[in-house]
Amino acid sequence: MTQVQRTILGIDPGLANTGWGIVSQCGARLSCVAYGCISTSKDMPLAHRLMKIHRQMGAVIARFEPTCAGVETVWFGSNTQSAFATGQARGAALVACAERDLQVGEFSPSQIKLAVVGTGSADKDQVQYMVRQLLALEAVPRPDHAADALAAAICFTTHEGFAARARSAQAAGRIASLRQDRESCPTRAADVAPARFSVPSSGKETA
pLDDT digits 0-9 by tens, 13-41? 999 999 999 999 998 899 999 999 999 99
Choice among 12, 54, 148, 159 that is catalytic: 12
Q: Single out the catalytic residue among 54, 72, 148, 159.
A: 72
Q: How confident is the model at residue 83 (pLDDT cuts 50, 70, 90)?
A: confident
Give yes or no: 145 in active site: yes
Contact 66, 104 (CB under 8 A): no
Q: Which of 48, 65, 138, 145 is catalytic?
A: 145
Q: Which of 54, 12, 19, 63 is nearest to 39 (CA)?
A: 19
Residues sharing a CB contact under 8 Å with residue 8, sequence separation 6 or more, in sequence order: 22, 23, 24, 25, 66, 67, 68, 69, 70, 153, 156, 157
What is the DSSP secondary structure assignment for residue 189, as one 8-state letter? G
CB environment 10-30: b (16+ within 10 A), e (fewer): bbbbbbbbbbbbbbbbeeeeb
Q: What is the pLDDT of residues 7-19, one digit of tens each?
A: 999 999 999 999 9
Instruction: Give per-residue burial for 159-185: e unless 16+ CB within 10 Å, then b.
Output: beeeeeeeeeeeeeeeeeeeeeeeeee
Mean of the per-residue pLDDT values for the chain? 82
Q: Is the pLDDT of residue 130 over 50?
A: yes
Q: Does 142 score more than 80 pLDDT?
A: yes
pLDDT in tens, 86-106: 999 999 999 999 999 999 999
The reply to whether 72 belongs to the active site is yes
Q: Which residue would you say has higher pLDDT here, 106 or 179?
A: 106
Q: For residue 131, is pLDDT > 70? A: yes
- Total-model pTM: 0.76
pLDDT at 132 over 70: yes
In this predicted structure, what is the pLDDT of residue 170?
Answer: 52
